Amino acid sequence: MRLLCPFWVNKIDALSIDSPSALTLRDLLCTNVDDQNEVWSYVLLANFLFDMEWLFSVAPSLLQTKKKLFLVSGEKGLAQQFSSSSFSGAIDKGRIRFIEPKLPLPFGVHHTKLAICVNENGIRVAIFTANFIESDWSQKTQGIYVQDFPKRSNIDKVTEESYIPLNIQDNRGNRFKNELRRYLNSYNVFSSLSDENGIPNTLFDEFDFSNASVELISSVPGYHRGSDAYLFGMGRIESLLESLYMGTSDKSETPLLTWQFSSQGRLTDAFLVKMESAMVSEIKNKDISEQFRPMVQVVYPTESEVRDSLEGWIGGLSLPLRLACCHPYINKRLYRWGFSAKDMNDNKITRKQSVPHIKSYMRLTEKKDALKWVILTSANLSRAAWGEWQKKGTQLAIRSYELGVFYDSESFIQISDELFSVTPSRPIPLPSSVEGDGLIEVRIKKKEKKGSQDEPILFLPYDPLNPEPYASTLQLQKSEGSEDKSPLIAKDRPWVIDIPHFGKDALGKDFHEALKTNNSIDHTVDEISSLEKKAKMENKNNRSLDL
């Protein structure tokens, strides 16, 4: 039997291929409301952007939540947006709670994309890269992790007296539960059993997380010092790799990394070096010489890939990289998302034409024939998201909320007779690839060559093993160390939102015409308004957008 990682993409409306690896938001949130065991008791939805009308039209069963529906967002006026929606009267106000997480450091945002749904059957945890807006789910490329966990069997009723905040047993299931609880604590969402305004702090102990396939990597804003600095952001990556991989890598081969994101902040050399170091922290001697610094491939779409995408120029609004944030380190490591003129000439819509909003970071094998590990996350490449080391490396400053999952060779779905589902009427399908779905099958290599166990596979929306470099990337790499000052080849240039864009897009519009008619191609007014407000804020504070 093939070992499958719990990794899915979103279903693109324009694609006619129905792939088991492509999910809709309805797949994650909908239940059979006639089955009381399926109806949600608690739901927590966290995101950066919400379109209330669309969200509840897609998943009306959310309004049947028995005890509490939590909506977590950094957006101002979320409660008012809901009260003015057509669904505001469909749920008792006592059963819905709006949470605006604290942002203790300037310029931070709540960027996590998360759904936790509890019913009588168990708990569903979904972590993804899409906002709760229609175009994110129907037109862009996203990544999705989701797993269902059953209720523990034959356990005594958990009481507050018997509740232990952190289980000290060191296995993946307990780590998953504890990391999730640690992250949710930052929302101040847990409460005593007698307080109906929160999630009971004993609730997670009712579920069996033993089949958790992934590790969690979160970012919580604040100044994290001492050992706490290794619980979040890039500190968490470093400590996780050290604990899982220490001693399995040597320094004889140059480490290979792929970074893929939809935006980047104002980067510094020190930050980039620390990100590199965190992702190779399992190497015994971490004092990596220049000769053995990782080789990094940055996968990011070109201007032509945005122009020729399903959304045309408008798709670039979700890639808000600004000229002031471009960095030489990134410029000479750029690789295309994967859509080319040849694809256009085939006159066939492919997944490659969907602008990437997914964020993924991974370590490749030295032979570039498989992956060592993968991180799927909401976090773009920025100091706000991953943190910045301060005070001689003793303090990690993080500005934003982020959440992601870590896949390795143990990250496969455990299947006995059948896959457990908290929604038997609508189970999540096992991921697989079908002809024409545009997904690439990639293996995660086992840490040690023992036994004959198969290696788990993911179906990714791009090829991290054989990306196509920008023409300028090849030119910069070839001229490195020489005095060649030739003008850069402009054939491939990265999408940068605040420079002039010329020509007609795939929808026959020029850039300014596309901006004026954005509502006609499924972008909500709320999304555009939020982007414009953030753009103004950035210009005022000279900082980067990080959506």
Residues at the annotated binding site for substrate?
Answer: 113, 359
State the catalytic residue, choosing from 110, 357, 501, 523: 357
Handedness of CA 150, 151, 155, 159 (dihedral sign): positive
The β-bridge relationship of strands 360-364 and 256-260 is antiparallel
Mark whether 111 is an active-site residue.
yes
- Closest by CA position to 318, among listed 529, 520, 546, 518: 546
Q: Say how far residue 235 (Cα) sits from the centre of its chain.
A: 18
N- to C-terminal Cα distance for the chain? 39
Residue 261's contacts (CB-CB under 8 Å, 6 or more residues apart) are 300, 359, 379, 380, 381
Say how far apart CA 511 and CA 508 lie, in whole Å. Answer: 10
| Token pair 């939540």 in the structure block, residue | 65
Q: What is the DSSP string of 297-324?
A: EEE--BHHHHHTSTTGGGGGGGS---GG
Task: Locate 277 and state its tokens.
Answer: 């170091």
> How many helices and strands (H and E) does the chain possess?
14, 22
Backbone angles phi, psi at 471, to 5 degrees: -60, -40
Say how far apart CA 68 and CA 248 lie, in whole Å. Answer: 46
Q: Collapse the DSSP code of 367 into the 3-class scheme (helix H, G, I; strand E, B; otherwise coil) and give the result.
A: coil
DSSP β-bridge partners for residue 46: 72, 114
Say how far apart CA 469 and CA 453 lie, in whole Å. Answer: 34
Q: Collapse the DSSP code of 14 into the 3-class scheme (helix H, G, I; strand E, B; otherwise coil) and give the result.
A: coil
Angle at Cα 64 formed by Cα 78 and Cα 53, nearest 5°? 35
DSSP β-bridge partners for residue 59: none
Task: Locate 201 and state its tokens.
Answer: 């702090």
- Closest by CA position to 69, among listed 23, 119, 104: 119
Mark whether 357 is an active-site residue.
yes
Residue 167's contacts (CB-CB under 8 Å, 6 or more residues apart) are 174, 177, 178
| Type of residue at 446 | K
Q: How far is CA 231 from CA 48, 221, 285, 375, in A?
A: 22, 12, 22, 16
Say how far apart CA 158 and CA 173 lie, in whole Å. Answer: 18
State the catalytic residue, choosing from 111, 224, 501, 523: 111
| Token pair 């909506």 in the structure block, residue | 71
Residues labelled catalytic: 111, 357
